[in-house]
Amino acid sequence: MPTDAQPTTRVRAADELKQVALDQFATVGFAGTSLQHIADHAGYSKSSVLYHFASKEALLEAAIEPAISEFEAVLDDFIAGRGSGRRRTLVARVVDLLLENRQAVHVFLIQGPSLAELPIIARANAAVRRLAEAIGDERESVVDQVRFGIGLGGAAFLLTAGRSFADADALPADDELRDVLHVVLGELLAPRDRPRPTTTD
């Protein structure tokens, strides 16, 4: 695996294909995306796509696996961690992860349940469920679990499907979006028995 500044042809083509595929999977869904579309959009033939990736599923896996690994890392840190800043740290890292992996998150969070038979999606679903349980364990109230579900799902919706409902010229920049998401998700997920934090980082 070369770390060249000048990427080899193989790596470049595979990366292009992964990016195009991820865009398509996130916008029209995994089932709604054909290998032919991906190939056309990337400027290759369908055969080339299947040369670089053994199957459509393998292409999906290659496209979203990094985001899932990162998500699992965030989750493991949260579960293993302790201290008062845990929840705030989780929110910050999840927001960053959402912003940097919009398409992948859309695939495994929004389309996840309908693709559960794919191993990579099953792994992602297991991670999401683990996070839900970790939240549920430490705060048993249904209200809090709903807050978690709305926060996570709502943020994912906002950054993917929901974007198309906003005025194109009114879309906030990512930096602003990150700050705003910190505030709103902080309100949703922060422990309620304390006064709501009004200061941001």
Partner DNA sequence: ACGCTACTTGACCGATCGGTCAGATCCTGC
Partner DNA sequence: GCAGGATCTGACCGATCGGTCAAGTAGCGT
CB closer to DNA out of 28 and 73: 28
Please choose which of its own copies, DNA, none residue 142 contacts, taking the beta carbon within 5 to 8 angstroms, the exact cut-off set by kind.
its own copies
Query: Least distance in Å: CB of 37 to DNA?
Result: 6
User: Can residue 55 be called a binding residue for its own copies (CB under 8 A)?
Assistant: no
Please return the burial class of 181, using the count of CB atoms within 10 Å of its CB with bins 0-12, 13-18 and 19+: buried
Taking CB under 7 A as the criterion, the residue among 19, 45, 69, 141 binding DNA is 45
> What tokens appear for 175 in the block?
């930096």
Q: Please list, residue by residue across 7-42, b when 16 or more beta carbons sit within 10 angstroms of its beta carbon and e when fewer do.
A: eeeeeebbeebbebbbbbbbeeebeebebeebbeeb
Binders in 121-140 for its own copies, by CB under 8 A: 125, 128-129, 132-133, 136
Query: 48 or 88: whose CB is closer to its own copies?
Result: 88
Q: Is the CB of residue 130 less than 8 Å from the CB of residue 71?
A: no
List interacting residues with DNA (CB under 7 A): 8-11, 13, 33-37, 44-48, 50-52, 54-57
